Amino acid sequence: MQTAPAPHLAGNYAPVDKELTAYDLPVTGQIPPELTGWYLRNGPNPHDAASGHWFFGDGMVHGVRLEAGRAVSYRNRWVRTSTFTDGAKVNDTGGNLDLTAGSANTHVIRHAGRTLALVESSYPYELTRELDTVGSYDFDGRLRTAMTAHPKTCPTSGELHFFGYSVMGAPYLTYHRADAAGDLVLSRPIDVPAATMQHDFNLTAGHVVFMDLPVVFDLPTARSGRMPFAWDDSYGARLGVLRRDDPYGEVRWFGIDPCYVFHTLNAHDRTGPDGHDQLVLHVMRYPEFWRKDSTDVNQATLWRWTVDLTAGTVREEQLHDRPAEFPRIDDRLAGLDSRYGHATITKTPAGGAAGGTLIRYDLRDGAVSSYEFGPGRTPGEAAFAAADGHPGGDGWLMTYVYDAATDTSDLVILDAADLTAPPVATIHLPTRVPFGFHGNWLADQEVPS
């Protein structure tokens, strides 16, 4: 009797087994002629068709090239890490023996002219324009920790802010900063009591905010080959605030209700109505995550945390009740007061048609709009592509959408300002794109010649 594959290796979680290049892709609708560049998205695609958890599969980047209204090409390429090419392993405590070992399967970004595939447990891997692997990248030997998969680029300074966490011993958390030219100029340890899973963080114009939450490294789980983290009721939850203009100064810690956050939407500084200095953080919050021996995985909803730096308090508010994930903004407003954000919904309310949704939040007046993809059609994370040079202005949302009825995938482009309208364009791909994680629209004008 043939054993059914594990859920994370079945359906559209199953890996594709070939690298492809295809040209002149068919399109329904009209691609905005302003869009010239690459849409790239990363995700797990185990090359041996096996992995112990969805998070562990080898990274594969899927890219669609757009030029002046045409879908010029599609290509998918594995990220050839030392794990992929040489079988380099992590050790039995969950920490890397070699920071080049890993999957590079979580995100793909560009900074200072380099395209980097990221996973939080190792170094990034640099890719060429054609998605071939150059090799691991350690900022010319200056980076001595792993790098988060969620770095943030300051739109004012061009600096790349990121961190690395370790399960091998203190320091468990290190904050890094690279300048606009790509040089690593700051590495500062942050004192936390244990190895917690810090997947994302918050950036404002004046502050960096770390989330020290109760999903903690667990050695027995690591040795079993499963995800090596578990919920810990005794750990507590807190936010650590560091001033960007005093990066070696005090980290102020603010306690919050226990929870977990994989992904932040955005954050900004403001002066409150009482004249207090405040930070406003928007996050996708789980009430708990990875509790041992529990099969119940709670779903994230949009919350706002207002950190009052003057009063030393945090106000916590749920803003929307529909579970969603993969929150994004116009990244040119990272750390600033962005009015709009969006997220992906793959679960359907009771009584609704099975299919995914993109949801748009108005963070000022609370209004919500959405686009329903229809039965059997599931979107991934949607990246924002700007229509003009005005941050927060017009633009499009781009996402891969899987169609269960045909077992195919499309790249769908929607008007970000009007999710009630039909897609602007649907680009039909030559292969199924398995469910994955994060990506970006990389416009050509941002690439040095």
Query: Residue 225 has what pLDDT?
Result: 66
Q: 78-92, 108-122, 252-266 — which is least confidently predicted?
A: 78-92
pLDDT surpasses 70 at 126 = yes
Give the dihedral sign, CA 77/82/85/91.
negative
Residue 263 assigned to a binding site: yes
pLDDT surpasses 60 at 352 = no
Q: What is the pTM of this model?
A: 0.94
- CB-based contacts of 173, cutoff 8 Å, min separation 6: 163, 164, 165, 166, 189, 190, 191, 192, 198, 210, 212
pLDDT surpasses 80 at 351 = no
Query: Residue 446 has what pLDDT?
Result: 53
Give the dihedral sign, CA 286/335/136/380.
positive
pLDDT surpasses 50 at 151 = yes
* pLDDT tens digits, one per residue of 10-25: 999 999 999 999 999 9
Task: List phi, psi (to 5°) of 174.
Answer: -135, 130
CA atoms within 13 A on the CB side of 264: 26
Average of pLDDT values for 249-263?
98
Query: Residue 92 has what pLDDT?
Result: 39
Report the C-alpha gap between 422 and 230 in whole angstroms: 42
Nearest to 344 by CA among 331, 362, 330, 361: 361
Residue 150 assigned to a binding site: yes
* pLDDT tens digits, one per residue of 379-401: 999 999 999 878 888 899 999 99
Report the C-alpha gap between 175 and 146 in whole angstroms: 11
Report the C-alpha gap between 377 and 299 in whole angstroms: 20
Q: Which residue has the tokens 């108005």?
A: 362
Kindly state the DSSP code that residue 308 receives in the 8-state scheme. E
Of residues 107 and 219, more confidence is placed in: 107
pLDDT surpasses 70 at 268 = yes
Report the C-alpha gap between 310 and 301 in whole angstroms: 28
Nearest to 211 by CA among 267, 144, 275: 267
* pLDDT tens digits, one per residue of 322-336: 999 999 999 999 999
CA atoms within 13 A on the CB side of 307: 25
* pLDDT tens digits, one per residue of 87-99: 887 653 444 468 9
pLDDT surpasses 60 at 441 = yes
Q: 34-38, 57-61, 113-117, 442-446 — which is least confidently predicted?
A: 442-446
Kindly state the DSSP code that residue 419 receives in the 8-state scheme. T
Query: Residue 93 has what pLDDT?
Result: 41
* pLDDT tens digits, one per residue of 39-63: 999 999 999 878 888 898 999 999 9
Percent of the chain with pLDDT over 70: 94
Report the C-alpha gap between 375 and 367 in whole angstroms: 25
Looking at every residue in the chain, the average pLDDT score rounds to 92
Residue 199 assigned to a binding site: yes
Tokens matching residue 182: 């790509």
Q: 48-52, 274-278, 291-295, 431-435 — which is least confidently predicted?
A: 291-295
Percent of the chain with pLDDT over 90: 82
